[in-house]
Amino acid sequence: MSSLDRSPSFTLRQLTAFVAVAETGTISAAAERMLVSQSAVSLAINDLEKALGAQLCVRRRAHGVQLTPTGEAMLVRARLLLQQAAEMQAESANSSGELTGPLSLGCYPTVGPTILPPLLARFTERHPGVTIRFREAMADELAHKLDSGELDAAIVYDLELPSSWQSTTLLTRHPALVVARDHPLADSPGPVTLKDLANEPMVLFDTNPSANHAMQVCAAAGFTPRIGYRSANFETVRAFVGWGLGWTIMLQQPQVNTTYGGLEVLSRPIDDPVLEPVRLLIAWKQDVMLSRVTREFIRFVVHATEEPIP
């Protein structure tokens, strides 16, 4: 008998319990999520471990549940199986062929308030049966969640990306200088020379890979910036610049030039031929079978960004 003729000795319900425990960290929280008793969750985990012949979790009294290395590996596959099962059920119940199902999407904080909203608005208007769960996070957290299967895809810059990801380009962005309205370079008729700012304080957008990229841009221009202030908040950096506390470098700017406080900040191109544009990508883990919803979303955003996004 071939392996394809044998039914698995575990159930989707057991996989659901395992994923719930892994994501919530405790048996009690998983039981609350699944609306079942704690003993039912524990039994499901025990039966799953027996079926697989491996320990997936270590129960630690008063410290929740810790996945074993085998459990960490199985979690990715369990999420994929549950995703495929949900997609199969949704497609069989939907005789009209309408696109339905969940999509877990991540992005950088600078992309969240600028590029992503019009994409999501247009996609959900076209496919109202799709439910999108959105996560805005820094590079390290996005990488962890994409690799673990918590995210289906992420919109990120082509900076320090893991080799295990596959991606396609949406847009290209050139790093730009951002200064206050009353800065001497605000009304520059053309690109500015970044090194002219070497003696002025910089307000660093202190998240990676953005911070590393900004420092590389300055190094390529021939100087090390004098960092006066740091912030991991996109709008805080713009506010500091608006108050004349320094200048900054950004890849992404809102359509409006005003800060929360109503101060005007202006973006100016940089006159440094060594600078390379940075690609904005939609990325996914290359060894994962994408759901139909994820595949359609990728196709949609690639086509949508061929035209300017308001």
Contact yes or no for 282/152 (Cβ under 8 A) = no
Each residue's pLDDT tens digit, 104-139: 999 988 888 888 899 999 999 999 999 999 898 888
Model confidence at 217: pLDDT above 80: yes
Average pLDDT for residues 39-67, to the nearest whole number? 89
Euclidean distance between CA atoms 248 and 201, whole angstroms: 9
The band of 218, judged by pLDDT with boundaries at 50, 70 and 90, is very high
Euclidean distance between CA atoms 173 and 276, whole angstroms: 9
- How much of the chain, in percent, has pLDDT values that exceed 90? 47
The band of 8, judged by pLDDT with boundaries at 50, 70 and 90, is confident
Model confidence at 2: pLDDT above 70: no
Euclidean distance between CA atoms 52 and 278, whole angstroms: 45
> What is the model's pLDDT at position 112?
82
> What is the model's pLDDT at position 92?
59
Model confidence at 5: pLDDT above 60: no
Where is 148: in which H helix or E strand? helix 139-148
Each residue's pLDDT tens digit, 226-282: 999 999 988 999 999 999 999 999 987 776 788 888 899 999 999 876 667 889 999
Contact yes or no for 51/65 (Cβ under 8 A) = no
Q: How far is CA 217 from CA 74, 227, 262, in A?
A: 41, 14, 29
> What is the model's pLDDT at position 154?
94
Q: How far is CA 303 from CA 1, 165, 173, in A?
A: 47, 21, 17
Euclidean distance between CA atoms 21 and 297, whole angstroms: 29
Instruction: Decide which of 160 and 202 is more confident.
Output: 202
